Amino acid sequence: MCRLYPCMTRRAPAPARCPDDGSPTVRRAWASITLAIVLGLGLGISVAAAADRHATPRADATAETRASAPVDDADVAEPASGTSARCPDDCSGHGVCKSGRCFCEPGYGGDRCASVAGCPNDCSGHGLCQFDRCFCEPGYGGADCRTTCTPRTPCR
């Protein structure tokens, strides 16, 4: 264990030298990144990635340990065997398939991401149209972002 991933865990840094053979350690910096589709869908993918930092390159190190930023621990669920996680028409090339359901790119909608989405009044120039809904800029509200919000009329 010490030769490739010496004396390390995800929560504790590796010491400068391995206690058993005195060889230089391969230190590993961990970062946890959460990628999420924002705007209230509540869908997220959490990825734990590791980047190797070598104290001294070793001739016997494997290609994996020499990689600059391998992703070796990803919290991504795979479908159970015998189940189909395919989406209709592969989301028409305008979305991401997750557990048999399409999550469409901005500007597309429907169960296959085939229809061009639209928002009322194009969000009145004060919002972002995604998933057939306006997401208003601060200070604006309403279904089409045309309502100016004040302390008397707060945004909803």
Per-residue model confidence as pLDDT tens digits over 31-88:
333 333 333 444 444 333 434 444 444 455 444 333 344 444 444 444 444 445 789 8
CA dist., res. 67 & res. 61, Å (int): 10
Higher-confidence residue of 116 and 36: namely 116
Given a cut of 60, whether residue 129 has pLDDT beyond it is yes
| Residue closest to 97 by CA, chosen among 87, 83, 110 | 87
Q: Which domains does the chain have, with CATH numbers?
A: 1-76 (no CATH), 88-148 (2.10.25)
Enter the tokens of residue 46: 């959490």
Q: Do 119 and 145 touch, CB atoms closer than 8 A?
A: no
Number of H helices, E strands in the chain: 1, 11
pTM metric for this prediction: 0.30
CA dist., res. 101 & res. 88, Å (int): 8
Higher-confidence residue of 103 and 18: namely 103
In this prediction, residue 106 carries a pLDDT of: 75
Higher-confidence residue of 123 and 72: namely 123
